[in-house]
Amino acid sequence: MSPYTVQYTPRADRDLEKLPPEIAHAVVHSIHAMKEDPYRFIKKMKSSSSAHPIYSLRVKKDIRVLLSIHDDVVIIHVLEIEHRKRSYRDF
Protein backbone atom coordinates (compact mmCIF):
# COMPACT_ATOMS: atom_id res chain seq x y z
CA MET A 1 0.00 0.00 0.00
CA SER A 2 1.26 3.48 -0.82
CA PRO A 3 1.83 5.96 2.01
CA TYR A 4 -0.99 8.24 3.05
CA THR A 5 -1.05 11.87 1.96
CA VAL A 6 -1.28 14.44 4.77
CA GLN A 7 -3.61 17.44 4.44
CA TYR A 8 -3.95 20.22 7.01
CA THR A 9 -7.10 22.26 7.60
CA PRO A 10 -6.69 26.05 7.85
CA ARG A 11 -7.27 25.74 11.59
CA ALA A 12 -4.49 23.14 11.91
CA ASP A 13 -2.15 25.47 10.00
CA ARG A 14 -2.96 28.33 12.39
CA ASP A 15 -2.52 26.05 15.41
CA LEU A 16 0.87 24.94 14.10
CA GLU A 17 2.02 28.54 13.63
CA LYS A 18 1.12 29.38 17.25
CA LEU A 19 3.33 26.63 18.68
CA PRO A 20 6.98 27.19 19.62
CA PRO A 21 9.29 26.12 16.74
CA GLU A 22 10.72 23.03 18.47
CA ILE A 23 7.24 21.71 19.33
CA ALA A 24 5.91 22.51 15.85
CA HIS A 25 8.81 20.55 14.35
CA ALA A 26 8.04 17.59 16.63
CA VAL A 27 4.36 17.70 15.62
CA VAL A 28 5.12 17.73 11.89
CA HIS A 29 7.67 14.95 12.34
CA SER A 30 5.16 12.81 14.28
CA ILE A 31 2.44 13.32 11.69
CA HIS A 32 4.69 12.43 8.77
CA ALA A 33 6.15 9.43 10.62
CA MET A 34 2.71 7.81 10.67
CA LYS A 35 2.15 7.97 6.88
CA GLU A 36 2.91 4.28 6.30
CA ASP A 37 0.75 2.81 9.10
CA PRO A 38 -1.36 5.51 10.76
CA TYR A 39 -3.51 3.26 12.94
CA ARG A 40 -0.46 2.12 14.87
CA PHE A 41 0.08 5.54 16.47
CA ILE A 42 -3.41 6.87 17.19
CA LYS A 43 -6.36 6.41 19.49
CA LYS A 44 -10.00 6.69 18.41
CA MET A 45 -11.97 9.27 20.32
CA LYS A 46 -14.95 7.75 22.10
CA SER A 47 -17.29 10.63 21.29
CA SER A 48 -16.74 10.44 17.52
CA SER A 49 -19.25 8.81 15.22
CA SER A 50 -18.54 5.43 13.70
CA ALA A 51 -19.25 6.79 10.21
CA HIS A 52 -16.62 9.55 10.51
CA PRO A 53 -14.29 8.72 13.40
CA ILE A 54 -11.89 11.29 14.84
CA TYR A 55 -8.52 10.12 16.12
CA SER A 56 -6.02 11.59 18.55
CA LEU A 57 -2.24 11.51 18.16
CA ARG A 58 -0.19 12.27 21.26
CA VAL A 59 2.90 14.44 20.74
CA LYS A 60 5.28 15.65 23.46
CA LYS A 61 3.10 14.60 26.43
CA ASP A 62 0.72 17.60 26.35
CA ILE A 63 0.07 18.23 22.65
CA ARG A 64 -2.71 16.42 20.78
CA VAL A 65 -3.25 16.26 17.04
CA LEU A 66 -6.86 15.55 16.11
CA LEU A 67 -7.27 13.95 12.72
CA SER A 68 -9.44 11.85 10.48
CA ILE A 69 -8.25 9.12 8.16
CA HIS A 70 -9.83 8.43 4.79
CA ASP A 71 -8.72 4.96 3.70
CA ASP A 72 -10.54 5.02 0.37
CA VAL A 73 -8.46 7.99 -0.89
CA VAL A 74 -5.39 7.35 1.32
CA ILE A 75 -5.46 10.73 3.12
CA ILE A 76 -4.73 11.75 6.70
CA HIS A 77 -6.69 14.94 7.35
CA VAL A 78 -5.25 16.98 10.25
CA LEU A 79 -8.11 18.88 11.90
CA GLU A 80 -6.45 20.71 14.79
CA ILE A 81 -3.37 20.79 17.00
CA GLU A 82 -3.89 21.86 20.60
CA HIS A 83 -2.75 21.45 24.19
CA ARG A 84 -4.55 18.45 25.63
CA LYS A 85 -6.64 20.62 28.00
CA ARG A 86 -8.26 22.41 25.04
CA SER A 87 -8.12 19.80 22.31
CA TYR A 88 -11.22 17.77 23.13
CA ARG A 89 -13.71 20.63 23.54
CA ASP A 90 -15.06 20.63 19.99
CA PHE A 91 -15.27 16.87 19.59
Residue ranges of domains in the chain: 5-87
The pLDDT value given to residue 2: 73
Q: Which fold has domain 5-87?
A: YaeB-like fold (3.30.2310)
Q: What percent of the chain has pLDDT over 90?
A: 60
pLDDT tens sequence across 8-39 = 999 999 999 999 999 999 999 999 999 988 99
pTM: 0.86
Give the separation between CA 39 and CA 55, rounded to whole angstroms.
Answer: 9
The pLDDT value given to residue 79: 92
Answer positive or negative: Cα dihedral of 65, 49, 77, 30: positive
